Amino acid sequence: MRGFKDNIPPISYAIEYVQKVFQEHSKLFGCDFVDMPVVEESDLYFRTSGDASDVCNKELFEVRKWQGEFESWVLRPEGTASCMRAVKEHSLLQHYRFLRLAYFAPMFRYNRPQKGRYRQFLHAGWEFIGQEVGDLEVIIGAVEFIKKFNIDITLEINSIGTANDRTQYRKQLREFFNLDDQTDPLKILDKSEDFSNIPHMEINKGDADNFNRLKELLQENEIQFVHNPYLVRGLDYYNALVFELKAKSTNQTILAGGRYDGLMEQIGGSKVCAIGFAAGVDRIIEHMEYNHVNEKIAIIGLDNEQYTLQVAKKLRTSGHSCVVFWNLDLKKALSEANKQKYKYVVICGEKEAKEQTFIVKNLEDRTEFLASLDAPFDLC
pLDDT attached to residue 292: 84
Stated as kind and residue range, the H or E segment containing 239 is strand 239-247
Choose among 115, 112, 97: nearest CA to 286: 115
CB 56 within 8 A of CB 50: yes
pTM for the full predicted model:
0.86
Query: CA-CA distance, 380 to 364, in Å (whole number)?
Result: 15
Q: What is the pLDDT of residues 266-297, one digit of tens each?
A: 888 888 999 999 999 999 999 999 888 888 99
Instruction: Spell out the per-residue pLDDT of the chain, length 380, in tens.
Output: 787 888 888 899 999 999 999 999 999 999 999 999 998 888 887 766 554 444 445 577 777 766 666 677 888 898 999 999 999 999 999 888 899 999 999 998 887 777 767 788 999 999 999 977 689 999 999 999 999 999 999 999 999 998 888 888 888 888 888 887 777 777 777 666 666 778 888 899 999 999 999 999 999 999 999 999 888 876 778 999 999 999 999 999 999 999 999 899 888 888 899 999 999 999 999 999 988 888 899 999 988 899 999 999 999 999 999 999 998 899 999 999 999 999 999 999 999 999 999 999 999 999 999 999 998 888 86
Q: Where are the domains of the chain?
A: 11-162+203-287, 294-372
pLDDT attached to residue 116: 64
pLDDT attached to residue 42: 82
Q: What is the pLDDT of residues 302-359, one digit of tens each?
A: 888 999 999 999 999 999 999 999 988 999 999 999 999 999 999 999 999 999 999 9
Positive/negative CA dihedral, 149, 155, 161, 167? negative
**Secondary structure of the chain: what % helix, strand, coil (to 5)?**
35, 25, 40
pLDDT attached to residue 75: 87
Query: CA-CA distance, 155 to 215, in Å (whole number)?
Result: 12
Query: CA-CA distance, 252 to 245, in Å (whole number)?
Result: 8
pLDDT attached to residue 57: 52
CATH class of this structure's domain 11-162+203-287: alpha beta
pLDDT attached to residue 51: 46
Residues 6+ apart with CB under 8 A from 275: 127, 128, 131, 134, 135, 138, 241, 257, 258, 259, 260
Query: CA-CA distance, 311 to 355, in Å (whole number)?
Result: 13
CATH code assigned to 294-372: 3.40.50.800
Query: CA-CA distance, 27 to 314, in Å (whole number)?
Result: 33
Measured in whole angstroms, the distance separating CA 46 from the mean position of its chain's CA atoms is: 24
